[in-house]
Amino acid sequence: MIEFHIEARSGVAPYMQLVHQVRQALRLGLLSEGDRLPKVKDVAAKVAINPNTVLKAYRQLENEGLVSPKPGVGTFVTGTLGDMPRSEHEPLRQELQRWLARARGAGLDEESIEALFLNTFRSSTEEEK
Amino acid sequence: MTAIIEARGLGKRYGRRQALSDCTLSVPAGRVVGLVGPNGAGKSTLLQLACGMLTPTSGSIEVLGERPASSTAQMARVGFVAQDTPTYAALSIADHLCLGAKLNPRWDAALAERRIQQLGLDPAQRAGRLSGGQRAQLALTLAVAKRPDLLLLDEPVAALDPLARRGFLQSLMEFVAETEATVVLSSHLVSDLERVCDHLIVLAASRVQAVGEIDDLLATHFRLTTARREADTLPAGMQVVQADHTDRQSTFVVRADTAVDDPSWVMEPLALEDLVLSYMTRARDTGADHRPVLETQR
**With contacts defined as CB-CB under 8 Å, which chain B residues touch A48?**
166, 169-170, 172-173, 195-196
Are A93 and A68 found together in one domain? no
Residues of chain B with pLDDT under 70: 1, 287-298
User: Please, what's the b/e burial string for B162-195 (b: 16 or more CB within 10 A of its CB; e: otherwise)?
Assistant: eebbbbbbbbbbbbbbebebbbbbbbebbebbbb
Residues 6+ apart with CB under 8 A from A31: A2, A22, A25, A37, A77
Q: Which of A11, A14, A46 lies nearest to residue B170, judging by beta carbons?
A: A46
pLDDT of residue B258: 87
pLDDT of residue B297: 36
Q: How far is B90 from chain A (nearest CA, A)?
A: 31
User: Which domain range does residue A118 map to?
Assistant: 86-128
Q: What ranges in chain A are assigned the alpha helix state H?
A: 14-27, 40-47, 51-63, 89-105, 110-128
Are A43 and A62 found together in one domain? yes
Determine whether the interchain pair A48/B173 forms a contact, defined as Cβ–Cβ distance below 8 Å: yes
Residues B198, A44: Cα–Cα separation, whole Å: 13
Determine whether the interchain pair B30/A13 forms a contact, defined as Cβ–Cβ distance below 8 Å: no
In chain B, the largest separation of any two C-alpha atoms, in whole Å, equals 68
Hey, what domains does chain B have and what are their CATH numbers? 3-213 (3.40.50.300), 220-295 (no CATH)
Residues of chain A with pLDDT under 50: none
Q: Which residues pair with B252 in a beta bridge?
A: B224, B243
How many domains is chain A built from? 2
pLDDT of residue B152: 97
Are A63 and A92 found together in one domain? no
Are A19 and A73 found together in one domain? yes
Mutation target for A interface from B1, B151, B196, B200: give the one with most A CBs within 10 A. B196
Which amino acid would we find at residue B25?
L
pLDDT of residue B288: 47
pLDDT of residue A29: 84
Are A28 and A64 found together in one domain? yes
Are A29 and A56 found together in one domain? yes
Q: Which of A13, A48, A51 lies nearest to residue B169, judging by beta carbons?
A: A48
Are A28 and A57 found together in one domain? yes
In a domain, A109, yes or no: yes
- CATH number, position A22: 1.10.10.10
Q: How far is A30 from chain B (nearest CA, A)?
A: 25
Three-state secondary structure readout of A99-120? HHHHHHHCCCCHHHHHHHHHHH
- Residues of B in CB contact (< 8 Å) with A are 30-32, 166, 169-174, 176-178, 191, 194-198, 215, 218, 269, 271
For residue B239, the SS3 value is strand
In a domain, A123, yes or no: yes
Q: What is the ipTM of this complex?
A: 0.79
Are A26 and A70 found together in one domain? yes
| A14 reaches B (C-beta below 8 A) | yes
Determine whether the interchain pair B32/A53 forms a contact, defined as Cβ–Cβ distance below 8 Å: no
**With contacts defined as CB-CB under 8 Å, which chain B residues touch A46?**
170
Task: Count the Cβ atoms, other than its own, within 10 Å of residue B7.
Answer: 24
**Phi, psi (deg, nearest 5) at residue B148:** -75, 155
Q: Are strands B3-14 and B17-28 parallel, antiparallel or unpaired?
A: antiparallel
In a domain, A98, yes or no: yes
Q: What ranges in B15-161 are assigned the alpha helix state H?
A: 43-51, 72-76, 93-103, 109-118, 132-145
| A11 reaches B (C-beta below 8 A) | yes
In a domain, A4, yes or no: no
pLDDT of residue A83: 64
In a domain, A39, yes or no: yes
**With contacts defined as CB-CB under 8 Å, which chain B residues touch A50?**
32, 173, 176, 195-198
Residues B97, B107: Cα–Cα separation, whole Å: 9
Residues B192, B183: Cα–Cα separation, whole Å: 14
HSE-up of A50 (CA within 13 Å, CB side)? 29
| A46 reaches B (C-beta below 8 A) | yes
**With contacts defined as CB-CB under 8 Å, which chain A residues touch B191?**
8-9
**With contacts defined as CB-CB under 8 Å, which chain A residues touch B176?**
44, 50-51
Are A34 and A62 found together in one domain? yes
Q: Computed over its alpha carbons, how large is the radius of gyration of chain B?
A: 21
User: Please, what's the b/e burial string for B104-122 (b: 16 or more CB within 10 A of its CB; e: otherwise)?
Assistant: beebbeebbeebbeebebe
Task: End-to-end CA distance of chain A: give it in Å, rounded.
Answer: 30
Are A27 and A57 found together in one domain? yes
Q: Which residues pair with B245 in a beta bridge?
A: B250
Are A23 and A63 found together in one domain? yes
Are A69 and A92 found together in one domain? no
DSSP H or E run through B16: none
In chain B, what percentage of residues exceed pLDDT 70?
Answer: 96
Residues B254, B277: Cα–Cα separation, whole Å: 13
